[in-house]
Amino acid sequence: MNNQMMMAPAPRANGASNGAMDVWSNPQTAQTHGLAFPSPHQAHAPAGPSPVQMAQRLLRGRVALAIVLAGIGAIIGGVAGFMSQAPTYKSLGMVAISPSIPVVESDTKTMPYYMQFMTSQATVMTSPGVINEVPKYEPWKSVVGKDDAALADLGANLKVAYIQKSFNIGLEYDAPNPKVASAGVYSVIQAYKDYYKKIASTGVGPRLKAIEDQQRDVQAQKDAAQAGIDTITAKYGASDLGGLVAAAETKKQDIDRNLSGYRNNLRAAKDAIEAMHAGGGAIPVEELAQVDQHLSDMQGQYNEAVVKEQLMEANYGKNSPTVRQLSMNIDIMKKSIEAYADTMRKDTLAIIPDFVNGKFFRVTPGGLRALETRVATLEDEFNAAEKDRASLAVDAGKVATFTTAIRQTTDKLQKLSETIETMKYTAAMAGDLQVMQDGQYATKASDKKILFGLAGAVFGAIVPVGMLMLLGLMDTRFRSSDDTTTSTMAGIPLLGILPNLPDRLSDPAQASIAAHCVHQIRTMLQLNSMREQSTCFAVTSASSGDGKTSLSLALGLSFAASGSRTLLVDADLVGGGLTSRLGNSHPRGIVDALGGADLDQCVQPTDVTDLSLLPLGVAQAHHAGSFSPPAVRRLMTELRKHYEVIVIDTGPIMGSIEATPIAASVDGVVLTVARGQSRPLVERAIAHLRSVGAHVAGVVFNRAQHRDFEQSIGAISIRSAARSTAAGTGHNARRPGDFGAVATAVASSVRQDT
């Protein structure tokens, strides 16, 4: 390189301060742990994170702290859990109660609802009536005394249950003191026995007599109800009166229907007679014909003759002998009809519709009297039918009431009988209760110290680790290279990682490791170029300070060292990092090239073989308007004619205007992400690149720490590189130039190769 490049100022390459050294400041540590790098296969097809890897991501580099805190928490939790438990002792007891009730000297009776009775007795043993009497009995009286707290514990923790399909009730009591445990069970059994002796001797007799009196009263009620049913059965011949009530109702409805029809006939007859008297006219022949068949036939013959006369008159004329003879016959028929009608009118008062039979009714003086008599008779029949129906309904209601009373009294008698049998059994039970196990011996129950100690240790270890994970979940910054493979960056490969280096790189082992990282990234890009014909790359970042300029310069040197004609383009109008670091002060640069100037006048050579530079020139921030997409694409097309690889250093994608059209025009965008960068900002940068159609070739994680390399592969190759550099003659005094730690490392490796 020329002297101008050698004397260029050396700004911070990775943004690492001299006081923020990590494992990379000690090359021996790098050799010991075998720093590694991701393979091409890993970069393009990352495997899904395992639970351990997810936990490491959430811990955010605090694995050692998490292990220490987990150990401390496990010790504290284990001790607390172990000490929280004390050994307990268990005492068991059992009493047996026979299900047979003594009735006479040589006879017995099985107790009804025996299981329910035994269950109730188990409840009685834990009732205050028994527990409160325990302090009066030995050995509780001697061992515990009047300790209300101990007595309350006995009442709360004493377990009493009926043992199914047996005659036994079991008792169990756990206590820290074996004497207290055995005293509790033994004294409860004694208190229970005396309690029931007292109940049997003082309470059962009077209560039994009262219940037996109640039983007799209920039986009398049942007998009275049955007697009422028997009386009604004797009256009607059956106790079920439902059919009789229905038949009576039907008979009443039939009578009511006939009565209504005859009442309508009578009313219509009277109205018609009154109308005839008021009008003074005779009853028309047509109405009389409705109630007299002979008159109806005569009227029909007359009508037929009239029709026939009209037809013959139309055919033969009015004066035809046949027509005149027919006309005479019609007159005779008419007179006969009138004479017959007059005879009927003498004893006919009116012609009315018959509401009973649905025809017409001839009202005569005798018929009117018969109609009045019929209405009166039906009214008497209706009243009698209604009375019979009502009487049947009342008796049916009584039967229903008596039946309900019998059912209720029967149920009550059954319950009273069961109660009496139980009370008799209780009275006889006090002497038959047998103690099968009195609980005098207590055994050691399960010791939960170890179990609670283990549970406390697990809980104590989980809590601090969980808190650290929660803290890591709330931290949105990039802490390790694994953070670049999350779901929010799916489909974007991790090209490689760059170590956290000091500003002044003087150790040859560190330089060799950094150079190896850059060559690894360059190899990944070249592999992608073989598949995708990518020749033009833009290097950008979400914000300034992520080391994109150092990466651009280092990649340019690496591509040139691989034998590719390489062009570095400085398109960072604000930073101008490439131009500054390479010490170029040529007045013509990228803005002139965008304007159509001759590339030979804008592109400047360097002392590195196959590496050229398109500097910034005199461009300033206000020249960002010159970077239109068409102009950038034309420039890229022209540059591809002369160079195999083009590396463009742009401004931050979220903070510069020129970065967007360049990212949309190149073959691939390399996004630099430094440790500590905000994840949401990087996600917005990726979303912006995708929105403008840019192809993100991959991500480079900068300022990586030792654990990022431990999670990669290739440890043998990196150790070999470190050893070969350490075994060399030393190049500390031979510095290619002060243009960044990473680029310096790559330049050193290139010089060593040449």
In this prediction the pTM is: 0.45
Cα angle vertex 330, ends 324, 336, to 5°?
Answer: 145
Domains of the chain: 26-60+475-753 (3.40.50.300), 64-85+448-473 (no CATH), 89-202+431-444 (3.30.1890), 245-371 (no CATH)
Question: Do residues 429 and 196 make contact, with C-beta atoms less than 8 angstroms apart?
Answer: yes
Q: How is residue 540 annotated by DSSP?
A: E
Which of 603, 498, 485 has its CA nearest to residue 554?
A: 498
Cα angle vertex 412, ends 411, 413, to 5°?
Answer: 90
What tokens appear for 559 in the block? Answer: 């591509």
Q: Which residue has the tokens 């979220």?
A: 654
- Dihedral angle at the C-alpha atoms of 672, 678, 680, 683, nearest 10 degrees? 10
Residues near 563 by Cβ (< 8 Å), separated by ≥ 6? 610
- Dihedral angle at the C-alpha atoms of 10, 12, 17, 20, nearest 10 degrees? -110
Partners of 360 in beta bridges: 353
Residue 8 has pLDDT above 50, yes or no: no
Residue 481 has pLDDT above 50, yes or no: yes
Least confident of 71-85, 260-274, 508-522: 508-522
Q: What pLDDT, in 10s, does the model give residues 596-623?
A: 888 888 999 988 888 999 998 888 878 8
Q: At what angle do helices 51-59 and 63-83 cross, to 10 degrees?
A: 100
Q: How is residue 13 annotated by DSSP?
A: S
Q: What pLDDT, in 10s, does the model give residues 295-330?
A: 888 888 888 988 988 888 888 888 888 888 888 988
pLDDT for 109: 61
Mean pLDDT to the nearest integer, 639-647: 91
Question: Do residues 718 and 709 make contact, with C-beta atoms less than 8 angstroms apart?
Answer: yes
Q: At what angle do helices 242-279 and 365-429 cross, to 10 degrees?
A: 160
Question: Do residues 97 and 121 make contact, with C-beta atoms less than 8 angstroms apart?
Answer: yes
Residue 383 has pLDDT above 90, yes or no: yes
What tokens appear for 714 in the block? Answer: 């290739």
Residue 563 has pLDDT above 80, yes or no: yes
3-state secondary structure of 304: helix
Residue 565 has pLDDT above 50, yes or no: yes
Mean pLDDT to the nearest integer, 515-542: 80
Higher pLDDT, 135 or 480: 135
Q: What pLDDT, in 10s, does the model give residues 168-206?
A: 999 999 888 888 989 999 999 988 888 877 766 665 667
Question: Do residues 566 and 586 make contact, with C-beta atoms less than 8 angstroms apart?
Answer: no
pLDDT for 739: 59
Which of 611, 590, 609, 586 has its CA nearest to residue 599?
A: 590
How many residues in the chain?
754
